[in-house]
Chains A and B, each alone.
Chain A
Amino acid sequence: MEKQRDNNHPHICVIEKIVDETPTVRTLYFKDSVLANVLPGQFAMIWVPGINELPMSVMVSDVTDQAALTVRKRGESSTALYNLSVGQQIGVRGPYGNSFKIKNGKILLIGGGTGLVPLMRLIKFANPSNHITVLMGSQTKNEVFFEETAKKLLEKNSHDIVPVTEDGSYGEKGYVTDVLEKLLEKNTYDGIYTCGPEMMMYKTVQMANKKGIFVQASLERMMKCGIGICGSCCVNDDLACRDGTVFDGAHLSQKSEFGHSHRTKSGILEEI
């Protein structure tokens, strides 16, 4: 038996499978009973030894006690994680943060890019009686991913999966928020959940708040400690890592920084 683990100390895991999702996004699978069972919205700090440590939402796997990370190669650190091979090691600490409150009835998930990761986990935790609409945003056809994953996870739920591409090369054309706007003209929902680019979340929260629909967003900020003491991830008086990352729309509408500004590595507030 594994000794009681200190979740704030990096725990070493070995990559055992890699799946390419798009030309720039892949999912790395590894055995870890702690991260495999985190709540939707929770994240972990992922150490790429010798490179950096970055906050990542934990992707679902259909293998028991297997966790996964879906990463887009972008900066130096995410590219280093992306470039790892099967057999290489990462350190994980966490899980950190709170989780989505899943309402009964009709719920809508709206995400873009790797922001879909916590929403896939949300589906896994949803009630079989939930009717689930998933809006999946991306720029173009070859950047669409998780459509099959979502279908599989939604087998037991009545559902609609709506891919949306900015250039119209696949699914609906435009921004996911345009599609949401149209849907909200005719439908109502018991809950809306969003994760992805901040402007997408900002518009989603505004629209839901206007209609009086319960909405939650999972925010991303510069993170160093993950445990609420370094202060890097603050959003006004909240710490994304500790008070979030999931916040209610009604709460976010009181925060001047949401949708407008975030902090740099040195802690300077800058416009998004």
Chain B
Amino acid sequence: MDSILETTLGSLTLKRPTVLASGILGISLDVFNRLHDAGAGAVVTKSLSKEPWEGYPNPTIFSVKGGGWINAVGLSNPGAENFAKMIEPNNDVPIVVSLVGSIEDDFEYMIKKFENCKVAAYELNLSCPHVAKVGLEVGDDIELVSKIIKKVKSITNSPIVAKVGLGKSDYLATVDAAVSAGVDAITAINTVRAMAIDVETQMPILSNKIGGLSGTPIKPIALRCVYEIASKFDIPIMGCGGISTWEDAVEFILAGSSAVQFGSVMGDNWVETFGEINSGIQKYMERKGYATIGEMIGKAKRQ
């Protein structure tokens, strides 16, 4: 019925371009079904590790006065094996499995656990800003990124997405390494390293002190990154960072995204966000005379 919203990223086809970002609501198949019914084109799971992780003590998330959210949940997750068992019955929801690890063998170990699951794609978390030895610390190591992607590509036919963020290295060098190693798509960006201090108690609010900033304040930064990646590489992109309205989503598509991921917005709105953004994009397309998402991707690119 809404095939106008169909979008493709290499071999991955999504009925709608709105995708649940990793870290948000990603631990229950029942919730995935609910989000899918609400209009999500795909859901990305919480980043899974080899073993279950409890994450950091609270406070793990709060809003920033003036806009946005800071979080350091600490990649809490039930572990790849428990998670794979949970999603085994799934047949309907396009599930993108997010993985986090330190070396290529970690990723191989985890992907093997999903042999009996329908996995739409794997998203490699190369950009979590608040856990040591994984995430951004891996993404900053260009050679390691290359090794991980080559290994993962050699053991699965599922599309591989690399999620990059703003770390110590030039993120475009990470994208370059990932593309050269054969990655199928890029998600950009993750949260941006940040903190907040309470002036009355004179303490950092997060138990981990440092976390990641998400929400509307990072949208212009994320948009710039998507635009830069789209200008330099021939690779499908899922734009992510502060998207909260259909206009934001269209902006990212015009910058070069084939799909958009979001999550923080649901702290204010709720699962209805998916339907609202989908219908907003569709109305925009009808008004502008687009028949497919593909025609719109990267339209804002200028020489």
A residues bordering B, Cβ < 8 Å?
Answer: 6, 8-10, 12, 45, 47, 49-54, 77, 89, 91, 93, 224-225, 227-232, 234, 236-237, 239, 242, 263-269
B76 touches A234 (CB 8 A): no
B54 touches A265 (CB 8 A): yes
B207 touches A268 (CB 8 A): no
Q: Contacts of A236 on B, CB cut-off 8 Å?
A: 28, 30
15 A-B interface contacts by CB (under 8 A): A6-B63, A8-B69, A9-B62, A10-B198, A12-B201, A49-B198, A53-B60, A89-B201, A224-B55, A231-B46, A232-B76, A234-B31, A237-B28, A265-B55, A266-B53
Report the separation of the CA atoms of residues A52 and B60 in the bound assembly, to the nearest whole angstrom: 9
A47 touches B76 (CB 8 A): no
Q: Which of B111-129 contact A (CB under 8 A)?
A: none
Q: Which of B3-34 contact A (CB under 8 A)?
A: 23-28, 30-31, 33-34
Q: Contacts of B79 on A, CB cut-off 8 Å?
A: 266, 268
Q: Contacts of B86 on A, CB cut-off 8 Å?
A: 269
B residues bordering A, Cβ < 8 Å?
Answer: 23-28, 30-31, 33-34, 46, 52-55, 57-65, 69, 71, 73, 76-79, 82, 86, 198, 200-201, 203, 205, 207, 263-264, 266-267, 270
Residue of A nearest to B207 (CB): A52
Which of A50, A227, A267 is within 8 Å of B27, CB to CB?
Answer: A267
Known: A52-B207, A267-B46, A268-B82. 18 other contacts (CB 8 A): A6-B63, A8-B69, A9-B62, A45-B58, A47-B58, A49-B201, A49-B203, A52-B59, A77-B57, A91-B205, A224-B73, A225-B267, A227-B267, A228-B266, A230-B23, A231-B28, A267-B52, A268-B52
Residue of B nearest to A54 (CB): B58
Report the separation of the CA atoms of residues A269 and B83 in the bound assembly, to the nearest whole angstrom: 10
Nearest chain A CB to B158 CB, angstrom units:
23
Nearest chain B CB to A258 CB, angstrom units:
12
Residue of A nearest to B49 (CB): A266
B60 touches A230 (CB 8 A): yes
A10 touches B266 (CB 8 A): no
Report the separation of the CA atoms of residues A231 and B77 in the bound assembly, to the nearest whole angstrom: 11
Given contacts A53-B58, A54-B58, A228-B266, contact A10 B27 (CB under 8 A): no
Q: Contacts of A269 on B, CB cut-off 8 Å?
A: 86
Given contacts A12-B198, A236-B30, A266-B54, contact A230 B59 (CB under 8 A): no
Q: Contacts of B263 on A, CB cut-off 8 Å?
A: 229
Nearest chain A CB to B43 CB, angstrom units:
11
A8 touches B266 (CB 8 A): no
Which of A224, A239, A267 is within 8 Å of B60, CB to CB?
Answer: A224
Minimum-distance CB pairs A-B, first 7: A53-B58, A8-B63, A237-B30, A267-B27, A266-B52, A12-B200, A265-B54
B266 touches A229 (CB 8 A): yes
Nearest chain B CB to A257 CB, angstrom units:
8
Given contacts A227-B267, A268-B52, contact A263 B200 (CB under 8 A): no
Given contacts A12-B200, A53-B58, A234-B28, contact A267 B267 (CB under 8 A): no
Report the separation of the CA atoms of residues A92 and B46 in the bound assembly, to the nearest whole angstrom: 27
Q: Contacts of A224 on B, CB cut-off 8 Å?
A: 55, 58, 60-61, 73, 76
Q: Contacts of B27 on A, CB cut-off 8 Å?
A: 231-232, 234, 263, 267
Nearest chain B CB to A193 CB, angstrom units:
25
B205 touches A267 (CB 8 A): no
Report the separation of the CA atoms of residues A10 and B64 in the bound assembly, to the nearest whole angstrom: 10
Residue of B nearest to A242 (CB): B270
Report the separation of the CA atoms of residues A45 and B201 in the bound assembly, to the nearest whole angstrom: 17
Report the separation of the CA atoms of residues A78 and B30 in the bound assembly, to the nearest whole angstrom: 31
Report the separation of the CA atoms of residues A77 and B207 in the bound assembly, to the nearest whole angstrom: 13
Nearest chain B CB to A56 CB, angstrom units:
12
Report the separation of the CA atoms of residues A242 and B35 in the bound assembly, to the nearest whole angstrom: 14
Nearest chain A CB to B193 CB, angstrom units:
19
A91 touches B31 (CB 8 A): no
B267 touches A8 (CB 8 A): yes
Q: Contacts of B46 on A, CB cut-off 8 Å?
A: 231, 267
Residue of A nearest to B201 (CB): A49
Report the separation of the CA atoms of residues A92 and B159 in the bound assembly, to the nearest whole angstrom: 44
Q: Contacts of B71 on A, CB cut-off 8 Å?
A: 225
Q: Contacts of B25 on A, CB cut-off 8 Å?
A: 228-231, 234, 239
Q: Contacts of B30 on A, CB cut-off 8 Å?
A: 234, 236-237
Which of A49, A229, A237, A265 is within 8 Å of B76, CB to CB?
Answer: A265
Which of A52, A91, A227, A266 is within 8 Å of B57, CB to CB?
Answer: A52
Report the separation of the CA atoms of residues A228 and B25 in the bound assembly, to the nearest whole angstrom: 8
Given contacts A234-B30, A266-B54, contact A228 B267 (CB under 8 A): yes
Q: Contacts of B264 on A, CB cut-off 8 Å?
A: 229
Q: Contacts of B82 on A, CB cut-off 8 Å?
A: 268
Q: Contacts of B62 on A, CB cut-off 8 Å?
A: 8-10, 93
